[in-house]
Amino acid sequence: MAINEDILARFRNVVGERGIITNAEDMVPYVTDHRELFQGAAGAVLRPASTEEAAALVAICAEAGIAVVPQGGNTGLVGGSVPDGTGKAVVLNLGRMNKVRALDALNNTMTVEAGCILADLQSAAEEADRLFPLSLGAEGSCMIGGNLSTNAGGVQVLKYGNARDLVLGLEVVLADGRVWPGLNALRKDNTGYDLKHLFIGAEGTLGIITAAVLKLFPRPGQVETALMAVPKLEDVVPLLADARAASGDAVTAFELLPRLGLELVVKHFEGIRAPMETASPWYVLMEWSAGENTRKETDDGTLRAALEAFLEARFNAEVVTDAVVASSEAQARELWHIREVLPESQTREGGSIKHDVSVPVSKVADFIAEGTRRLEAQMDGIRVFPFGHVGDGNIHFNVSQPETMTKDAFYEHWKSMNRVVHDLVMDMDGSFSAEHGVGRLKRDELAHYGQPLDLELMRRLKAVFDPAGILNPGIML
Ligand SMILES: Cc1cc2nc3c(=O)[nH]c(=O)nc-3n(C[C@H](O)[C@H](O)[C@H](O)COP(=O)(O)OP(=O)(O)OC[C@H]3O[C@@H](n4cnc5c(N)ncnc54)[C@H](O)[C@@H]3O)c2cc1C
């Protein structure tokens, strides 16, 4: 049904003027995805301030057959958080639902609303001397509801798991407007199917997450950060295995950076200098964390000593040819800043085609080498730019346009590049979507590579949870 004045009046009745946007110009940021690949249109943007309001809005949509596109910080990279161009859907933006409802330090949990910004939740945990470990480049604007709906990964998965692993309970508005009250804070609960996991990673197609109970952890007292030059790609994964053993499994991050990445960061970000003079085809940013929160008393703690001994042994073995170990939190932040702006440096350099893929960790080097060979054979001057979460086998196997080609001409090869990379990933028992989801961008890839039985079961689940198909239609399936 079209969104007429009568429907808009009913929406206003629920959320008031503060909770609704109907002016086309004001709606632009809500209907344009982060990468500006998808420009949609909406009948209205709705911004509920409570679960009750969200449920009432969805009930109106269900009755009128209006499609609902749930949205958090709109930082998703697969076009899942914006509507199509018909203008027949509403965007349900959760940003006003941003309260921490409870924090139970002894139970190591916090109960939060879906519109809380991830960085704010990290701070809330820190204030209670706890750690909420989910961490990603968009943490200053992405929201926990979006993180859970995409089952976000990030830089600490190696130690703490994906977003899915950090949740004990959820509250969800269902497609008919009822609220599923699953906010339990239990670490053991085997009373039937674990329904919350169906909503996590569902990209808003099965329900709208309005709140969650998140797991908290002790805050590590000792955190050591090192950037290492590792010339040989085949040494990277064994280096990770050695680091895990040498540190007593204290490796919390292990990020691969290519030389091109470091060069583009220095080129495009004023004020960032190369952290070391040694040029190397590959670098690894590694973090070790451990121990009680005793930083003040242990200026030269045991973790630091263990890291230095580890590095010395790797220098002697010529696996690592140079390293910078952060001597302060500020220097550690500077090293992390390079990693965080790496994707943006590629955007500033021109056209880029991204592949968020994973393979078994043991196959990472073979995948990068073979993928690079195949892409370079496909196009002269192409600049392969692989980086990311080696510890999870998750490589952002991105490519930058040749310097001599226009962006538009490069983008004509988008689908054929995807095919080359994704074919290789599937041959290596990997995934064509490691952490960003399927959304609109990879829907055809799911249809192409998905197992028929998987797809059948997914469609049946969709029919159970959303029989009228109003929740984020056109996404994923
Ligand atoms: C610079 C940068 C770095 C990034 N780094 C990483 C990274 O390291 N790891 C990673 O995994 N991702 C990364 N991302 C991608 C993105 O930040 C994540 O996918 C994030 O989890 C999306 O959160 P969001 O609040 O922006 O969700 P949105 O973009 O608003 O939505 C994402 C999807 O979830 C659905 N959705 C949103 N909120 C809800 C809700 N409450 N209920 C139901 N469905 C909902 C939407 O409909 C959409 O399908 C990065 C993005 C950027 C821009």
pLDDT, tens digit (0-9, with 9 covering 90-100), for 366-389: 999 999 999 999 999 999 999 999
CA of 164 to the centre of ligand 1 (A): 13
Are 22 and 8 in contact, with CB atoms under 8 Å apart?
Answer: yes
The rounded distance, in Å, linking the Cα atoms of 354 and 258 is: 15
Residue 302: what pLDDT?
Answer: 83
Q: Which residues line ligand 1 (CB under 6 A)?
A: 34, 69-77, 80-81, 94, 114, 136-138, 142-143, 145-147, 149-150, 152-154, 203-204, 208-209, 343, 435-436, 439, 472, 475
CATH architecture entry for 5-93? 2-Layer Sandwich (3.30)
Q: Which two tokens stand for residue 392?
A: 């999870």
Q: What is the DSSP letter of 232?
A: -
- Residue in this structure with the two tokens 């407007």, named with its chain if needed: 177
The CATH fold of domain 222-347: Alpha-Beta Plaits (3.30.70)
Output phi, psi for 110, to 5 deg: -135, 145
Distance CA 466, CA 477 (A): 13
Atom index in ligand 1 nearest the CA of residue 439 equals: 49
The two three-digit tokens of residue 467, written as one number: 């029989």
The answer, as to whether pTM is greater than 0.85, is yes
Q: Tell me: pLDDT of 299 over 90.
A: no
- Percent of the chain clearing pLDDT 70 (strictly above): 98
CB proximity list for 36: less than 8 A, separation 6 or greater: none
Closest CA to 47 of 113, 110, 118: 113
**Parallel, antiparallel or unpaired: strands 352-353 and 394-400:** antiparallel
Report the nearest atom of ligand 1 relative to the CA of 76: 29
- Residues 16-28 have pLDDT tens digits of 999 999 999 999 9
Per-residue pLDDT, 2: 76
Determine the topology of domain 100-218 in CATH. 3.30.465
Q: What angle do CA 123, 124, 130 make, to 5 degrees?
A: 90
Parallel/antiparallel/unpaired status of strands 167-173 and 179-182 = antiparallel
- What is the Cα–Cα distance from 43 to 27, expressed in whole angstroms? 9
Does 231 score more than 50 pLDDT? yes
Atom 23 (ligand 1): residue with closest C-alpha?
A: 146
The radius of gyration of the chain from alpha carbons, rounded to an integer in Å, stands at 23
What are the structural domain ranges in the chain?
A: 5-93, 100-218, 222-347, 350-444
CA of 146 to the centre of ligand 1 (A): 5
Predicted confidence (pLDDT) at residue 296 exceeds the cutoff of 80? no
Q: Which fold has domain 350-444?
A: Alpha-Beta Plaits (3.30.70)
One fold for 222-347 and 350-444: yes
What is the phi/psi pair of residue 397, to 5°?
-90, 70
pLDDT (tens digit per residue) in 110-129: 999 999 999 999 999 999 99
For the beta carbon of residue 194, count every other beta carbon within 10 angstroms: 11
| Substitution site in 150, 347, 355 for ligand 1 pocket (most atoms within 8 Å of beta carbon) | 150
